[in-house]
Structure formats: structure tokens, C-alpha cells
Copies of this chain bind each other. A is one copy, B any other.
Amino acid sequence: MISERQLRILEAIISDFIDTAQPVGSRTISKKYPLGVSSATIRNEMADLEELGYLEQPHTSSGRVPSDLGYRLYVDSMVNFHSIGIDEKEIIQSMLRNRIIEASDLAKQAAKLLSEFTNLVAIVTIPKFNKCKLANLKLIKVSDTRVLLIMVTDTGIVKNIQLAMSYTDQFILDKVSDTMLSFLSGETIEKIDVRSILKLKDKLQNLGTFVDYLIPILRDALKSLNGTEQYAEGLSHILSIQEFADSEKAKVIFDFLRDPKNLEIFLDEISSDQLSIKIGSEIGIDSLDACSIISSTYKVDGKSDGKIIVLGPKRMDYGNVVSIVNYISNTLSDVFSGINL
């Protein structure tokens, strides 16, 4: 078992390391932190902490560096998750409530705020469109060769897809979209497949040819709705972080984040009901071994959630980041739920 004193020493070491990025030695701790014991004692405790797996030594005769386990303990039992200041709150509120009504803009704005307040990389997803229920659907002719398919979810998110069609009569389009809506309304969008679209044929037998023409186009359009839309901001902050001063190391992170699919797997795994902190190897992704990820979810009307994540070096100010993630996550829930008032 770990003693109270060891805990305080570990805390001092991690704080110091977060500040300085340098392996920390026993003398530094005894001088900078009022623990009331000599460096020799700390030295002994540090040896024990290393044996317990909370610290690591880059090489003999260098100071100690926290291990993933050390950070874990630090986060679980030492970090002070204070609430953010009133000023920050006001800025966030005004930026997110400032007449934004597109889900994507809102996510982008939230990611921007997150990355500015944390100086780290922030990613915000919007609720998986696929999982939402269809509330409205319209086909609008925009030109002789194009039709706009508009879908609105019950959570108020609007999605437009352009369809290339050479057969576009608004009267027919209205008829088709009304009919589709009548039997698809309330369905989650992922459930809308060829089979359900085929009902169109039954209901609109007089438009058989048109429906035959439309179905493959619709199918392709719906297929394109897979995947989570991610909005990442602050990527360049990576480049200011000591751990990634070498471009090659930064590139690993960039390359990972470039393909949204990479993160999607991770996003699907994180629990959807509370804030999560993953440290280094806990993330389970080799290229992110040097990072920590703090993630949270927000809900729209209590359902169907979007995700917020902040990615940075393990050596980050967990207390601060957590409180910002929390606040923005809550604000986003509110704003999203309010959008379709």
C-alpha cells in the first residue's frame, strides 16, 4: 500500500514534471515543496515509488519521470478538478450561443474554444446523423439536373445532399417526399435501407418508372451518411509541445488524426455517459502512446450524443482541461437541445 507521504511526494514530482518537462530529482522536491523531510528521505520514497510502478527512471542517476500508472494515480486521487472562472464561462456562453444554428458550425466553434483554452488539440463530433430519427424530408429541384435532398432529424440537425437527377419535376418530387416521409418519419436514419425505400413503389404505383430511377440514387446518398463528422481544431498546438519538437514525432500524431476513421474506433469505445481520461498506453493506440486524451459526451434532448475530446501530451494540466471539457460539454448539451425549440 502507498502511504500518505508517498502520495504527496508523487504529487510533487508530477506537478514539477508537468511544469518543467525535466526528470525531477529528490533535491528539487525537498527544496521546492514544503514536505518537511530531507532529500535523502525523498530519495528512499522515490525508490519505493519506482518499485511500485508509479515512477520511471530514464537512466540511472537521472531524476524520475511519472509512469502511466503514476499519472493514473495522480488523476484519480490528487488532481483538483476546480470549476472554470466566471470570465471563461462568459466567453464560452457568448461564443456558443451567438446565433449559430448549424450543428457543424457549433461543433467547429466549440472545438475552437476548447483548443484555445487548453492550448491543445480539440475534436468535437456532432451526433451521429445515422442514429437520429428522421423528422422531416424534402426533395427540392434546384436545376434541371439536380435535386436537393433535405433531411431533418428529431434532434433538429439538418442535412442536405445533392442528387444528380435528370428527371426533376417538383410536383412529383413533392409527392415522393411526402410519401416517403409518411412511412419513414420516426425511423432512425440507419434503418432506412433499400427495403424500406421499396415501399415507395407500392404506394406510388403510378410513378413506377420514376421510383425505379430514384431508388439507386437515394441508396447511394444514404450510404454517404455513415461515419461521424469530426471537427478538429488547434492541431498546430502539437508543434509547440516539447514532447513533439521533432517533426517526425509530430507527424505521427498528424497522420493519425488526418483520417477520421482512426479516431472513430476510439470514439465508439469510450463510455457515453461521463468524462473519461485515458493516459498513454491506456488509449490503446500505439501512435498516441505519448498522449493523454480527455473526452466527454454531450446529449441532445437526453438522447443521441456527440463527443468532445482533447488530446495533448501526458504532461498536461489535467485539472484545467477537465474543467473546460466539462463546461463546454454541458454548454453544448444545452445549446444543442435548445436549437430546435
Is A164 in the interface zone, CB < 8 Å from B? yes
* Stretch of A49-57, A145-153, A281-289, A323-331 contacting B (4+ beta carbons < 8 Å): A145-153
A255 to B102, alpha carbons, bound, how many Å? 26
- For A241, the closest partner residue in chain B by CB is B247
A146 to B339, alpha carbons, bound, how many Å? 9
Chain B residues whose CB sits within 8 angstroms of the CB of A258 once the complex forms: 236
A255 to B341, alpha carbons, bound, how many Å? 38
Tell me if A136 and B142 are in contact (CB < 8 A). yes
Is A138 in the interface zone, CB < 8 Å from B? yes
* Stretch of A29-37, A155-163, A191-199 contacting B (4+ beta carbons < 8 Å): A155-163
Tell me if B152 and A142 are in contact (CB < 8 A). yes
A140 to B245, alpha carbons, bound, how many Å? 51
Is A244 in the interface zone, CB < 8 Å from B? yes
Interface mask (A245-282 → B, CB under 8 Å = 1, otherwise 0): 11110110011001000000000000000000000000
Task: Name the one of B143, B236, B254 contacting A156, with C-beta atoms under 8 angstroms.
Answer: B143
A244 to B156, alpha carbons, bound, how many Å? 44
Known: A246-B247, A250-B247, A254-B235. A158 touches B162 (CB 8 A): yes
Known: A158-B162, A239-B248, A254-B235. A140 touches B143 (CB 8 A): no
A101 to B156, alpha carbons, bound, how many Å? 25
Chain B residues whose CB sits within 8 angstroms of the CB of A246 once the complex forms: 245, 247
Instruction: State how many angstroms separate the Cβ of A204 from the closest Cβ of chain B.
Output: 21
Instruction: State how many angstroms separate the Cβ of A104 from the closest Cβ of chain B.
Output: 10
Which of A102, A254, A258 neighbours the largest number of chain B CB atoms within 10 Å of its CB? A254
Interface mask (A147-191 → B, CB under 8 Å = 1, otherwise 0): 010101000101010111000000000000000000000000000
- For A156, the closest partner residue in chain B by CB is B143
Interface mask (A109-151 → B, CB under 8 Å = 1, otherwise 0): 0000000000000000000000000011010101101101010
- For A102, the closest partner residue in chain B by CB is B162
Is A59 in the interface zone, CB < 8 Å from B? no
Is A82 in the interface zone, CB < 8 Å from B? no
Task: Name the one of B102, B163, B247, B340 contacting A245, with C-beta atoms under 8 angstroms.
Answer: B247
A101-B146, A140-B150, A145-B340 are known; give 17 further A-B pairs, CB within 8 A.
A101-B162, A138-B140, A138-B142, A142-B150, A142-B158, A143-B340, A148-B160, A158-B162, A235-B235, A236-B255, A239-B251, A239-B254, A240-B247, A245-B247, A245-B248, A247-B247, A247-B250
Q: List 29 A-B contacts (CB under 8 A).
A: A99-B164, A101-B162, A101-B163, A135-B143, A138-B142, A140-B140, A142-B150, A142-B152, A143-B156, A143-B340, A145-B340, A146-B152, A146-B156, A148-B150, A148-B158, A148-B160, A158-B162, A235-B235, A235-B254, A236-B254, A236-B258, A239-B248, A239-B250, A239-B254, A240-B251, A244-B247, A245-B246, A247-B247, A247-B250
